[in-house]
A and B are shown apart, each in its own frame.
Chain A
């Protein structure tokens, strides 16, 4: 049996992050924080990380990608890259909710020990968020990913320890910041490997959570 070579990548937060995983361990990884340069930086980073792992593109067996939610333009860079790589190489692509990857990272690092919230920057003064609880060596999601103004978060959620850039941006709404800001592809890879082995469905649909802003001509007429 050939060994797994999974390439994980995520562009849903301010980091461009890439890792190669062999099914039990991370072989190499890299991240750059550059919220507006996903298009420039992702492909060179993938090349670097593959080189460090001494893995050719055609040695890859799987692709895993964060499906958001996240700012749309950056999110799409990761998703389209993952889908094209997988198609071109003839290997499967697996989607992981990016908030789940952040939550998994927080538990892996021992940063949380009770119910917590992941809240990331959704721009326009809003956060993408979901609540979790530690579950064994990973995190279990308790609520569906959603988007809202931080001040509109339910009271009990605002009191939770908060992972992601949300608490740094909106300390008045999320005062209990946990120091883990962006998705890390190592955690994403680890979570993806677990889900692949458990046979969970892993769709690669973008989690936009917002409709495009535009009024149809009919809606404009109705105003």
Chain B
């Protein structure tokens, strides 16, 4: 039974290579179904937009069907539908948006087009309960690295800073390639680094001198990536073996150090004792450990969803959609389109 304070919401996510369908009842997650085309992309060494879009089309109905079956609901039980309207790959987003419109239209239910980044923050509500307001969010994924001040995840998300070049996940993926690890590289670096030691002091971008003042809440990872590539090339040129585990551990340490240092600094300066981490890189074990340590030392409450809810998924969209319903935000109608560069400040369309 649906009640006004426990809306049953289905969320669809297709911004990249995962077809995600999640269903929540209020602030409780019922199911997070996912179909990934990541294996199809691996042989191309990166996500191929057309391959992703084709896979979304084929996976859409089976994934929605599976989500409803596992949750034990009929489509007509739904109170609302939510979908990622952006940012992301345009063609991929459009498959999800069209599917969500068709579902909402067939049921006569409201549809919410929501921001993918806001959804990465909101997903923790179904894991750890309502978000403190305001909360500070560190969003780190293959496409984004941002620090956000979030007074209200359904309406007010303020960017404090973001990467000026590569995203953190992108740096993981590029460094993995340099080390001969498969795509996507993040989880492989995480695994390999577990057997390594931090032996190399790689550069920490935008953390010293003048740069901090100009880019206090911004990140830069391309210098780090280049430093790793040079280090590896130099070893190879001189015929020395490359200690992959140590390089991975040292690289991971540098990224994690910068991310957590800036996030904790932002919490202090903004006077917000709550940090929420989200996005695919939040699955990283070292980032989770270091954030826990530094937040504890600084008296900051830390929340990180379980790894499966950090990478792209449908539950996060459903979670944000349910918040939109609960807070009485206006629905999006059926005439909007996908916006591949939807700004983080535009929580819904």
- Interfacial residues, chain A to chain B (CB-CB below 8 A): 37-44, 46-47, 57-58, 72-73, 76-85, 87-89, 206, 208, 212-218, 220
Q: For the complex, what is the distance from the CA of A78 to the CA of B102, rounded to whole Å? A: 10
B43-68 interface code vs A (CB 8 A; 1 in, 0 out):
11100101101101100110011000
Q: How many interface residues does B have (CB within 8 Å)?
A: 34
> A58 — which chain B residues lie within 8 A by C-beta?
106
Contact A76 B338 (CB under 8 A): no
**One of B57, B60, B65, B337 near A40 (C-beta < 8 A):** B337
Contact B337 A76 (CB under 8 A): no
**One of B43, B45, B99 near A84 (C-beta < 8 A):** B99
**One of A41, A57, A218 near B106 (C-beta < 8 A):** A57
Min CB–CB distance B98 → chain A (angstroms): 4
B80 interface residue (CB < 8 Å to A)? no
A-B contact count (CB 8 A): 107
Min CB–CB distance A220 → chain B (angstroms): 8
Which residues of chain B from 335 to 349 have any CB-CB distance to chain A below 8 Å in the complex?
Answer: 335-338
> A215 — which chain B residues lie within 8 A by C-beta?
44
Binding site secondary structure of chain B: helix
> A214 — which chain B residues lie within 8 A by C-beta?
44, 48, 50-51
B35 interface residue (CB < 8 Å to A)? no
Min CB–CB distance B204 → chain A (angstroms): 31
- Interfacial residues, chain B to chain A (CB-CB below 8 A): 43-45, 48, 50-51, 53-54, 56-57, 60-61, 64-65, 75, 90-91, 94-95, 97-99, 101-103, 105-108, 334-338
Contact A87 B64 (CB under 8 A): yes
Contact A88 B98 (CB under 8 A): no
Contacts A/B (CB < 8 Å), 7 sampled: A40-B335, A76-B56, A77-B95, A84-B106, A85-B102, A88-B107, A212-B54
> B108 — which chain A residues lie within 8 A by C-beta?
57
